[in-house]
Structure 1
Amino acid sequence: MAINFRHLRFAAISALIFVSGLDYVKAQDRNKPAAPATEPAKPATPVTATPPKTGIRPYKEVITDKAKTDKGLFKVHRLDGKYFYEIPDSLFNREMLVVTRYAKTPTIDGTYGGEELNEQIWKWQRREKQVMIRIPSYRNIADKKTEMFEAVKNSNLDAVLSSFDIKAINKDSNSVVIDVTDLYAKDVQSLGLPQSIRTRYKITTMDDTRTFIDTIKSFPINIEVRSLKTYRATDPPGDKSIGSMTVEIHNSMLLLPKDPYKPRFSDDRVGFFGQSQTDYGLDEQKAQVTRYIHRWKLEPKDPAAYKRGELVEPKKQIIYYIDPATPAKWRPYLIAGVKDWNAAFEEAGFKNAITAMEAPLNDPDWSPEDARYSVIRYFASNIANAYGPHISDPRSGEIMESDIGWYHNVMNLVRNWFFVQTAAINPEARSPKFRDEVMGQLVRFVSSHEVGHTLGLPHNFGSSVAYPVDSLRSPSFTKRKGGTAPSIMDYARFNYIAQPGDEGVVLYPGIGDYDKWAIKWGYTWFDNQTPEEEAKTLNKWTIERAGNPVYFYGQQTGNPIDPRAQSEDLGDDAMKASKYGIANLKRILPNIEKWTYEEGKPYDNLKELYGEVLSQWNRYMGHVRSNIGGIYEDDKTYEQKGPVYTHVAKAKQKEAVKFINDQAFMTPGWMLDQNVLNKFDNAGIVDRLRRTQVGVLNGILDFGRLNRVIDNSVKNGVNSYPMDELFADLRNGIWSELKTGANLDTYRRNLQRAYIERMSYLLNENETPVPPQFAAFAGPQIDVSQSDIRPMARHELKLLAVQVRSALPRYSNPVLRAHLDDVLVRIAEALDPKK
């Protein structure tokens, strides 16, 4: 599910119907010849054209009795196909959140009605006879009372998005009238398609004749605009002959609070989404970056009762609406997934803090695109995913609203996970289609996870390490803990550790102790304390829980360095957990044809779920591999003793290499059941398994991982797992047959050739530079040419060549001798690539 990971929204997508009968006004052609007459036509009386009035005109001349007016944040007037905003003086210079979304789309892969396109903050400003939209920046800040305020202001100029001539002034209400028709009917990029879509479909310009404003509705704190926009495109989606792309766009403008919500400083030891600002107003001797978490505004209805420790309802409940396009049978489970978080909010002192309900179908003012409402949007899509974004106030981090994107095919994703991870012990998973009650619980699990993101919580990939592996085989332990990990925000998935005989064990993750702690940390109300005072209390709480794995936060990274913080794993020992998992895969494969049987259907499910078995096996290898060159990362403050970074013990790293040699590099014959493969595999399994094994190998012989191995050797000396020993263990595992002359099957030969290619890569290539936007996920890079990696790779290839030459006399099979002869040639080319 979406990592993340931002950002989106609507329901079943159907082809967009192009509407005819648009309102066009045709000008009379004064030069058109007169109709024939029996008498000569009289000379026309000269007409002097009256030029249109410009400048500010009387209010009643601009907003006539024929105007249709909608009252709300601004008065919105519609007259003769034009739209006017009447802006009161009191709303000038107020920040407003503007969110642009698709309302409807044509058939575009990966794009659906309801998804977000852009968000900005606007300030309407009046300047003499004009009104401007300014876009403020909050990257650099300073308190108005500080001496740095003017300096920051002078280097933080608000951009101008658009300007409007004032058409009239309403003296009765101290408001001005401007024409905003072109703002929404013309091509303003921030209110339409983003550059990525324009580039993808080679969009040139907007076609004004096929573009119009559908509605503009004004509500007490927001204005909602819907428009149909047609863009000329040389490579549009769908029918290329049309030469254009039509979308329906929804723009929401929401008035932000005059006084921003009190921000809460973030802490790397507790996972929250957040934002950064450089605060030049602090009494520091450097430019200080401040970081705020994203959270909803929750304040108790009864502050006195809250302070007494009683559970109190919030002044404003967090409410989610279920998209009307959602199939009815899944709605109760989506709602339950939202409400599950009430148990966590109780730790912060709130009851009934969050709920979900079906959308009000008979309310003409309710819209899923309305920025006042948070909606679980159901997409008719074959994308197997869901995601939970949120939109926050850049001044404070307050979450203003969120729309969860729910793709229909996420059910296939959880079907596959549940089958491959639990079918060995769970009869409910032994079917290509689950009972509605079973799928409903899986929907509820995904719903809870995505709602967690919308509450401000990122993935906590370190949570699942808290529980001992064998404890996850215990029904009493898993029931007491309420799931397979302390956080539903981990990718803990389902209980693949449980073995036959462990029936009654909990198979699902749930809202756990870490989730309750994170909500307590982020949402506890401290009344009149400053953010700095709150931070001291929160720091004390965090230190009290330090060292307890239940409260450990392991952030998501692209290439996990800390083996505790990785995706899809369970338990505190990757080798033991993966051994249990593989044992279950070995139980599933002999039954996979029976458990995927569908009368009258081809073997599509057999093929798909066999692929899931292979993928799950590969995940286990990844979990184990992360221990090699792994570094534990425990974020700490000055008050906490001990290191932040600790290398994985040598014995554990060697155990991981042995596990991979045994389970991945020795051909997994149990996976190669020809009775199963012959049903769907057309000579593809050899290469598929090769790619999987090579991926495991290349992940070990990775520049970044080897850099950590070198670092460990420098810091820990004889207690480290040095590179020469790592290389020797791999070589002795992958080439073990050379000592005895044992057979080298096709899979093994493929792997050995890949080994030489990877060693050649280490010897002759440089590390690929990481793009700046991914640098934080990649970790430190290394100058390979000046490290020990190349000398060691050269040394390994030379040792291997000696072993191969010694082993050749043991082999008489022409295929195997050809393979070993080729190995020597490849080694020679790697050692001297210029030949």
Structure 2
Amino acid sequence: MSPTFRVAALSSLAAALAACATPGPSAPTVAADATKPAAAQAAAAPASAASGAAAAARPDPAAPKPFAEVIKDAKQQPGFFPVWRKDEKVWLEIPAERLDKPFLLSASVSESIGERGLYGSQMGPSWLATFRRVGNQIQLIALNTEYTATTPAMKATVAQAFSDSLLAAGAVASAPHPERKSVLVDANFLLADLPNYAMAIEQAFRLNYGLDRANSAIEKARVSDDMTTLNLRMHFATPRLPLPPIAPPPPNTPVPTIPKTLPDARSMFVGYVYSFTKLPDAPMASRDTDPRVGHFFDTVTDLTTDLLPNPKRYLVNRWRLEKADPAAALSEPRQPIVFWLDKNIPEIYRPAVSEGILEWNKAFERIGFKNAIVVKQQADDADFDTLDARHASVRWFVGSDVGFARGPSHTDPRSGEIIDADIAMSDVFGRGARRFRVESVGSSSAAPFALPFAKGAEQACDYADQAARELDFALDLLDARGELATDGPEAEAFAKSVVRDTIMHEVGHTLGLTHNFRASTVYTRAQLQDKDFTEKNGISGSVMDYNAYNIAAAGERQGSFNNTTIGPYDYWAIEYAYKPIAPGEEKAELARIAGRSASDPLLAFANDPDAGGGPGSEGIDPLVNRFDLGDDPLAYYRKRLQLSRELWQRVQERSPQPGEDPIRQRRVLLDGFRALRDSPALVAKYVGGMYTARTVPGGASKTPAFVPVEPAKQRAALQFLASGLFSADSFRFKPEFLASLTPDYREWERAGLVSIPAAVLQLQGAALDRLMSPGTASRLLDLPLYVSEKERRGLISLNEVYATLQGAVWSELKRGGEIDRMRRNLQREHVRRMQGLLVRVSTPLPADAQSLLRANATALRDELRQALARQRWDADARAHLQESLALLEQALTAAMVRS
């Protein structure tokens, strides 16, 4: 409890007790005293009455001071919620007419510490909020908007069932203004951690940094007729830093780490931007989503009636866009969507950023809006912060370990109207971005930290980070071919094209569009090699996919490297969200627009859960992926391995030049592995895979929602894993090349030896995890249920998958001699996974899969026994086979432990 809050509460309590002790007007002033004569009591009465009148005339010391006295000599910033400032004191004026009236409250982070997810220029959370007066206290309330009702009875029921939340509170600092009836509140009550950044800090470092209000301050305020913005400088501190653990902690145990970017790791300052934004009295007309098109949405559960099977409504997030001339076929909007380029964007990238934003005007022109989006440049001497709620913006930010872009937005939850959006773009294409990721292959480093308070975290976008990884690989390969020097003007132009592509993606998010991870498969391999086609259409059906770079293999023609324009899906998604439609025609017209996906393959759509990769989301459709390209993803993964091997061959043939980056060779080697990072699991996705289609009841599409992947494709995927990614021959390097991979001796913390076996095993383990997962087993067992009896004869079975995998991993058992170390690693991981599934499982295999796995493990045990008895092995191979046999025997005789 704050001191101000405590004093106000005690004063209110004293006043209440005094009121209880004071007789009401109908009661006698002094109670009758039976010990005194009646005359004496009568004589005493006038004196008591006079004493009570005098007490009533004295001012209540707990009452707020007059408004004018509080703000004497203070300067006012008039507007939505006026701000008064005098020296270090800041007051917020709460107009009487704005009490209990909703507004949008947003909290963003303008400055931070530049590591582990804690970066500046980040949009934070927002709430539909209101100021509520309770006695002599002003409460800042976050309203519960997820549940609603329209009838009086159900409104009361909903209000009783679902609570609002208190964000902050402060004592009323003044009596009401004589004319305006507004009151003042000390703005220091907002020196509170509204975005819950302390949790983000603790999650990043596992250290408890507390908010230090005494050293936090409101730095500046900006007020207009429809918004009040406060910039705060918040101090977080911890009294002491932990010592390193004496002994290594158990696996998966969080260990405190110490920030590296601070002069003193016990103290950090974070900039907050709080915006109080006026909302329209009448919310914008909402538009319901359609599952065939991908839009962000606000969810409202309407409990007015119990007749609906699903009381939820999903309101499309979209800007309020209305024609200035509704009758015109092409009209400018009454109010365009304005994106501000923050003054912190490097000048070299500003044209590319503008082009990426304005590219979306093509989609709006198709539905009748001219110049729907406008770009403005913030002046260097501008006094506003583009993180406030009235300036949609693009901002640059840097950090010691950063590599992503985000395109979040804030909405009016009553209607889904987008009120603000702030794209944060990291300097992933600049000076040190390539160094930051150079040692990430073959290591156990944690995944990038995610802001826990960001709206839409379930669809967090790390496109820029992975696009930068793609850029590294593309530049290295093109440089090795002699087609593009990494330090020349062509490379700079290439980087700008990547910025443009990334900005198109993030702007799509701020217009309300989700990811579309099926769009990369709508063009054929032949179309992708046609320069004219790709310049006109791009390389994908949507910029909302995570699109790989279109790099030609040897003998192929080179099309555009990345997206040059928005795709057909993007036009369609904008049409659904923004096309002006008469209210009476909207339902039918939206159904017609969404229904076009049944006949137009260019409108294919699937989002993050469909692609998998998140908690509890495995992803089953091999055509829905991040960073694939073309209508045959399996062929693309083969090409990807071919390109990595070409890069490795070229870098081994190249001699380092005097004065170049000392870790260039190392970086290029690891970029080849990084380019393959996702391939093994995505190839394995074919096995037990299902093609999916987004169908709706009564829709035009006759395609089933689930169709098993062709058995031939599943077998081809297994064969590619066996001959490509599981083969040690795919990863051969010259000893003299590996010996030449020096670290940068100027760095105190240096990378060690590059471990090729560790990098290879990281790839192979991902394939084993997918092929041996309970989900893959369940789908393979269920496949016969999805096909006709005639089609069942050629199906791939779970036992075939287990046996094929086992035969590919353990092919050396039939010939004896030496087993390569990379192959031993693969075999060891295969046995460990079998052991884990047989003995200790958190997600058990289906019963039939458990039986088949045990049968295959028994067969492998017998093969190992025979191989050890009949074949001659070198010492390493024999020891490895004996250990593998022992692990299998233990697993086959142990009881299962369910964790």
Q: Give the TM-score band, short-chain normalised.
A: 0.7 to 0.9
Cα displacement (A) at 1:544: 2.6
Q: CA deviation at 1:560?
A: 2.2
- Give the CA deviation at 1:217: 2.7
Judged with a 3 Å threshold, the aligned counterparts in structure 2 of structure 1 residues 206 and 725 are, in CA distance, closer, same or farther, namely: closer
| Equivalent position SS for 1:668 | helix
Q: Residue 350 of structure 1 aligns to which amino acid in structure 2?
A: F
Question: Does residue 742 of structure 2 align to residue 689 of structure 1?
Answer: no
Whether the 8 Å contact between 1:261 and 1:398 is mirrored in structure 2 is: yes
Task: Show the counterpart of 2:300.
Answer: 277
Partner of 1:492: 547
Match of 1:791 in 2: 851
SS class of match (1:792): helix
- Residue among 113, 122, 146 paired with 2:120: 113
Q: Distance in 1 between matches of 2:302 and 2:207?
A: 41
1:189 aligned to 186, 193, 217, which one? 193
Name the SS of the counterpart of 2:327 in structure 1.
Answer: helix
* Contact persistence 1:625–1:656 (CA under 8 A): yes
Q: Does structure 1 residue 103 correspond to structure 2 residue 129?
A: no
Task: Work out the CA distance in 2 between the residues paired with 1:357 and 1:562.
Answer: 42
Alignment of 1:587-598 (within 5 A): 587-592=646-651
Shift of 1:53: 4.8
Q: Indicate how the Cα distance of structure 1 residues 671 and 449 shifts in structure 2: closer, same or farther if over 3 A, else same.
A: farther
**What secondary structure does 2:282 align onto?**
coil
Identity of paired residues, percent? 26
**Which residue in the other structure is 1:577 paired with?**
636
Q: Which residue among 568, 573, 582 is the counterpart of 1:518?
A: 573
For residues 216-235 of structure 1, what are the structure 2 equivalents within 5 Å?
Answer: 216-234=221-239, 235=241
Match of 1:378? 396
Q: CA deviation at 1:358?
A: 1.6
Q: Deviations over 1:746-800 (max 9, x none)?
A: 21122112211111122123235xxxxxxxxxxxxxx53x521211111001112
In 1, Cα distance between equivalents of 2:732 and 2:338 = 48
Map 1:361-760; keep pairs closer than 5 Å: 361-364=380-383, 366-382=384-400, 383-411=402-430, 412=433, 414=467, 416-421=469-474, 427-431=482-486, 435-480=491-536, 482-496=537-551, 498-505=553-560, 507-508=562-563, 510-529=565-584, 534-556=586-608, 557-558=612-613, 559-592=618-651, 599-640=658-699, 641-669=702-730, 671-680=732-741, 682=753, 684-716=755-787, 717-741=792-816, 743-760=818-835
Equivalent residue in structure 1 for 2:182, among 150, 168, 176: 176
CA contact (8 A) 1:103 1:369 kept: yes
Q: 1:132 to 1:827 in 2, by over 3 A?
A: closer
C-alpha contact (below 8 Å) 2:621/2:689 kept by paired residues: yes
2:78 match: 71
Q: 1:616 to 1:80 in 2, by over 3 A?
A: closer
Change (3 A) 1:493 1:349: farther
Q: 1:794 to 1:430 in 2, by over 3 A?
A: farther
Kindly indicate whether the alpha-carbon contact (under 8 Å) linking 1:496 and 1:580 is maintained by their aligned counterparts in 2: no
Instruction: Answer whether contact 2:235 2:270 (CA < 8 A) is retained.
Output: yes
The code of the aligned residue for 1:766 comes to: V
Counterpart residue type for residue 534 of structure 1:
E
Q: Would the aligned equivalents of 1:478 and 1:505 in 2 still touch at CA under 8 Å?
A: yes
Give distance in 1, aligned partners of 2:218 and 2:830.
62
Asked whether the 8 Å contact 1:335–1:355 carries over to 2, the reply is: no
Check whether the contact 1:422–1:496 (CA below 8 A) recurs between aligned residues.
no
Tell whether the 8 Å contact from 1:87 to 1:175 is kept in structure 2 after alignment.
no
* 1:61 corresponds to 2:79: no
Tell me the amino acid that sits aligned with residue 360 of structure 1: A
Deviations 1:326-379 (A, max 9, x none): 211111111111111111222332221113232123343x22232111221111
CA contact (8 A) 1:621 1:664 kept: yes
Q: Does the CA-based 8 Å contact 2:738-2:754 persist in structure 1?
A: no
Aligned to 2:4: none
Shift of 1:164: 3.5
1:800 to 846, 860, 865: 860
Matches within 5 A, 1:800-819: 800-808=860-868, 809-819=870-880
Query: Take 2:606 and 2:713, find their aligned partners in 1: how far apart are those partners?
Result: 20
Cα distance in structure 2, aligned partners of 1:501 and 1:702:
37
**Aligned-pair CA distance for 1:506:** 5.1
Q: Tell me if structure 1 keeps the 8 A contact 2:211–2:236.
A: yes
Gap change, CA 1:450 and 1:803, over 3 Å in 2: same
One-letter amino acid matched to 2:850: R
Partner Cα separation in structure 2 for residue 597 and residue 89 of structure 1: 73
1:100-127 CA-to-partner distances (Å, cap 9, x unmatched) read: 2233334654323332343222212346
Between the aligned partners of 1:683 and 1:219, the Cα distance in structure 2 is: 58
Quote the residue 1:245 is aligned against. 268
Stretch deviating more after TM superposition (558-567 or 83-92): 83-92
SS in 1 for 2:587: helix
How far off is 1:418 after superposition? 3.2
Structure 2 letter corresponding to 1:721 = I
Asked whether the equivalents of residues 428 and 438 of structure 1 are also in contact (C-alpha less than 8 Å), the reply is: no
* CA displacement 1:450-477 (0-9 Å, x = unmatched): 1111111121111111122333223343
Q: Deviations over 1:466-496 (max 9, x none)?
A: 122333223343334x221111111112113
How big is the alpha-carbon RMSD for the aligned residues of Structure 1 and Structure 2?
Answer: 2.9
- Classify the secondary structure of the residue corresponding to 2:218: strand
User: Does residue 337 of the first structure (1) align with residue 353 of the second (2)?
Assistant: no
1:169 to 1:549, Cα distance in 2 relative to 1, 3 A: same
**Range 279-288 or range 599-608, more displaced:** 279-288
- Counterpart check, 1:132 vs 2:139: yes
Distance in structure 2 (CA, Å) of the matches to 1:725 and 1:761:
21
1:760 touches 1:830 (CA, 8 Å); kept in 2?
Answer: yes
In the alignment, is the contact (CA less than 8 A) between 1:472 and 1:498 conserved in 2?
no
Deviations 1:286-332 (A, max 9, x none): 45111112111111111011xxxx22222111122222122111111
Distance 2:471 2:115 in 1: 30
The question of whether the paired residues in 2 share the 8 Å contact of 1:376 and 1:406 is answered with yes
**Counterpart for residue 250 of structure 2:** none
For residues 423 and 203 of structure 1, what CA distance do their matches in structure 2 show?
42
Q: State whether structure 2 residue 894 is matched by structure 1 residue 833.
A: yes
- CA drift at 1:191: 6.2
Unaligned runs of 5+ in 1: 1-49, 769-782
Q: What residue is the counterpart of 2:379 in the other structure?
A: 360
Higher mean C-alpha displacement, 611-620 vs 251-260: 611-620
1:68 Cα offset (Å): 1.0
Q: Is the 8 A contact 1:554 1:564 kept in 2?
A: no
Amino acid at match of 1:487: S
- Is the 2:724–2:730 Cα contact (8 Å) retained in structure 1? no
Structure-2 residue corresponding to 1:33: none
TM-score, normalised with respect to structure 1: 0.84
**1:94–1:255 Cα contact (<8 Å) kept:** no
Match of 1:148 among 149, 154, 157: 154
Mapped partners of 1:79, 1:669: distance in 2 = 72
* CA deviation vs aligned residue, 1:411-463 (integer Å, no higher than 9, x gap): 54555413534765675545366632222111111111111111111211111
Question: What secondary structure does 1:301 align onto?
Answer: coil
